[in-house]
């Protein structure tokens, strides 16, 4: 880890992001001496903003020349059953499960997240050490709580991906004694739990506008507890702990579902009441943008509203059924494909689900007339269903004409209220206590919203409510609903691993013309986690490579 720390800790680099509707508006970039800065609440606020910027690596990559889309996309989207990668994609090893300890993107993610972790640790340690004559104690504890929420977020990404990681609890300010050993996954999870309990006890109750809140801490704690019910902790007693935290978020009265699903993801509705926590971005031209909006999108150039690149297609078993409007067919003859898996935990969209219209592009922007209303025509009009199977992910919509490029202004959500509702249903079901009444105020609220179209509400027979059944049936329905509601938001791999269904899910039957291969035959059980980068093991002899690599 010397390489990581050498870059990060000798000078704390504050990349202070500014975004309208977020809690600071002045974008700057500077190297600041912490001793000079941390003498007042104002200085502590500025220092804490640097932690927010650092933690954005969980969502979006900060390397312009090696932009892999951040941990969410690499771990939670590419390596799952939401998209497939064509033969020309540089991220094939992640999708196909052919990673080695030498993989450059995995090394970048490890390094960048540990750099970020050290910056956040600096805030926890240095702001936490400020005295009462420098800052009001309550203000200090709130800022520390924000940083500890961010630290929990980073450690959750690290332990989810690599399991056996060095647990860095404090800022590293020297290049000495960096040959640290790995902690057990349980030790890491327990440290995450400590951070989030502190955060929820010291943060206020509000939507937050891009700032950590009590609800955000509790929602993440509920998510962490749910993950601990599955691999590698496998302790089902955490279902009840998750229930308590998630129920508190629901009962807080702070959050609610947006009435119309596509409105969640627009620039006009950033930091809406469905957003439990989201990172703020701003652009273009301010060097504070994300890639959401052009990272995924329709076929065709980004200047016309398409994606900035062509490295992925929607998994056909998410995108739509084998028959019906705009169907992909079974591809059993002449196309090199296989019949669909039809997993009950991975059901496809129907066209009568608004999430299909918003999240899946079936058009090519070059074939959309200049005089149409964008993006409505591509969602509901003549531009819909131009192709069969040649479909793209499209959750955050680029403008038309567009100047966004790779510097889009859209905030990126980490946890939404819909996620909280679905996690709550899962927590109850895991205990065998999911009732019809509790399903109606959780998963069925999400399904009801999916039936809302611009000028009508679709019949519930086309997207039925969940009728509570067996524990396994409910589990599969909730897991399938999570994919349809939260696709491309980064949680799918964690969901599948927690549920013990990862191996089954990655069996891709998509036709070869848009697929670099089927990941399942190349998957072995040790690949449930990523390899420790070889460069880190060379630097730190106390690190032990994950089994199988």
pLDDT digits (tens, 9 = 90+) for 203-251: 999 999 999 999 999 999 999 999 999 999 999 999 999 999 999 999 9
The answer to whether the beta carbons of residues 548 and 540 sit under 8 Å apart is no
Which pTM value belongs to this model? 0.93
pLDDT of residue 406: 86
pLDDT at 25 over 90: no
pLDDT of residue 15: 33
pLDDT of residue 3: 31
Cα(384)–Cα(326) distance, integer angstroms:
8
Q: Which tokens in the block code for residue 199?
A: 């955060």
In degrees, rounded to 5, the angle at the alpha carbon of residue 262 between the alpha carbons of residues 257 and 266 is 100
Beta bridge mates, 288: 282
Q: Which tokens in the block code for residue 278?
A: 């989201």
SS3 for 392?
Answer: strand
- pLDDT-based confidence at 337, cuts 50/70/90? low
**Spatial CB neighbours of 494, under 8 Å, sequence gap ≥ 6:** 76, 160, 227
Does the N-terminal peptide bond of residue 27 adopt cis geometry, omega within 30 degrees of 0? no
Cα(451)–Cα(460) distance, integer angstroms:
7
Q: Which tokens in the block code for residue 236?
A: 């089902």
Model confidence pLDDT, tens digit, residues 430-446: 999 999 999 999 999 99
Model confidence pLDDT, tens digit, residues 398-441: 999 999 988 899 999 999 999 999 999 999 999 999 999 999 99
Does the N-terminal peptide bond of residue 507 adopt cis geometry, omega within 30 degrees of 0? no
Strand ranges inside 156-262, DSSP E:
none
pLDDT at 485 over 70: yes
- Across the range 36-41, mean pLDDT stands at 93
The answer to whether the Cα torsion of 263, 265, 271, 276 is positive or negative is positive
Strand pairing report for 275-279 and 452-453: unpaired
pLDDT at 49 over 60: yes
Cα(165)–Cα(155) distance, integer angstroms:
9
pLDDT of residue 318: 93
DSSP H or E segment with residue 385: none
pLDDT at 137 over 60: yes
- Give whichever of 167-181, 232-246, 277-291 has the largest mean pLDDT: 232-246
Q: Which tokens in the block code for residue 506?
A: 């990655």
Q: What structural domains and CATH numbers belong to the chain?
A: 1-172+524-549 (1.25.40.390)
Model confidence pLDDT, tens digit, residues 504-535: 999 988 877 778 999 999 999 999 999 999 99
Q: Is 401 left (phi over 0), alpha (psi -120 to 50) or beta?
A: beta
First to last CA, the chain: 19
pLDDT at 287 over 80: no
Supply the DSSP symbol for 408.
Answer: B
- pLDDT-based confidence at 32, cuts 50/70/90? low
The answer to whether the beta carbons of residues 468 and 412 sit under 8 Å apart is no
pLDDT of residue 327: 67
pLDDT of residue 109: 92
């Amino acid at each position: 880890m010397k390489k990581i720390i050498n870059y990060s800790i000798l000078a704390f680099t504050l990349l202070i992001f500014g975004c309208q509707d977020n809690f600071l508006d002045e974008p700057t970039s500077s190297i600041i001496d912490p001793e000079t800065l941390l003498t007042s609440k104002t200085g502590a606020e500025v220092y804490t903003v640097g932690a927010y910027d650092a933690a954005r690596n969980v969502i979006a990559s900060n390397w312009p020349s090696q932009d892999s889309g951040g941990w969410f996309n690499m771990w939670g989207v590419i390596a799952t059953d939401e998209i497939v990668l064509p033969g020309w994609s540089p991220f094939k090893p992640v999708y196909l499960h052919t990673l080695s300890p030498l993989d450059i993107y995995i090394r970048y993610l490890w390094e960048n997240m540990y750099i970020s972790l050290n910056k956040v640790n600096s805030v926890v340690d240095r702001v936490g050490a400020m005295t009462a004559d420098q800052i009001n104690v309550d203000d200090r504890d709130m800022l520390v709580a924000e940083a500890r929420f961010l630290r929990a977020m980073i450690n959750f990404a690290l332990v989810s991906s690599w399991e056996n990681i060095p647990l860095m609890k404090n800022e590293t300010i020297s290049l000495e004694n960096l040959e640290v050993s790995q902690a057990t996954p349980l030790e890491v999870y327990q440290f995450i739990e400590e951070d989030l309990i502190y955060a929820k006890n010291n943060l206020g109750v509000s939507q937050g506008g891009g700032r950590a809140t009590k609800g955000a801490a509790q929602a993440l704690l509920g998510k962490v507890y749910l993950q601990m019910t599955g691999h590698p902790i496998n302790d089902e007693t955490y279902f009840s702990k998750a229930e308590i935290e998630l129920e508190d978020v629901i009962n807080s009265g702070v959050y609610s579902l947006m009435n119309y699903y596509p409105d969640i993801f627009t620039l006009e509705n950033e930091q809406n009441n469905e957003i439990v926590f989201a990172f703020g971005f701003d652009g273009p031209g301010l060097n504070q943008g994300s890639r959401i909006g052009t990272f995924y999108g329709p076929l065709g150039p980004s200047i016309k509203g398409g994606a900035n690149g062509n490295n992925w297609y929607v998994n056909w078993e998410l995108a739509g059924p084998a028959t019906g409007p705009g169907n992909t067919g079974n591809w059993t003859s002449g196309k090199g494909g296989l019949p669909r898996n039809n997993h009950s935990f991975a059901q496809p969209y129907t066209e009568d689900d608004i999430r299909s219209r918003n999240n899946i592009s079936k058009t090519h922007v070059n074939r959309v007339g200049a005089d149409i209303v964008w993006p409505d025509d591509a969602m509901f009009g003549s531009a819909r269903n131009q192709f069969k199977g040649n479909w793209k992910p499209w959750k955050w919509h680029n403008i038309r004409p567009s100047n966004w490029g790779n510097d889009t202004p859209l905030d990126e959500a980490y946890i939404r209220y819909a996620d909280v509702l679905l996690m709550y249903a899962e927590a109850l079901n895991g205990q065998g206590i999911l009732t019809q009444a509790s399903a109606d105020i959780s998963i069925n609220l999400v399904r009801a919203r999916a039936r809302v179209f611009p000028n009508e509400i679709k019949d519930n027979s086309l997207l039925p409510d969940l009728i509570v059944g067996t524990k396994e049936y409910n589990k599969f329905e909730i897991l399938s609903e999570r994919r349809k509601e939260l696709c491309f938001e980064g949680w799918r791999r964690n969901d599948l691993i927690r549920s013990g269904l990862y191996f089954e899910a990655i069996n891709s039957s998509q036709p070869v013309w848009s697929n670099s291969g089927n990941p399942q035959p190349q998957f072995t059980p040790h690949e449930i986690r990523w390899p420790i980068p070889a460069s880190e093991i060379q630097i730190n002899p106390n690190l032990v490579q994950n089994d199988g690599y």
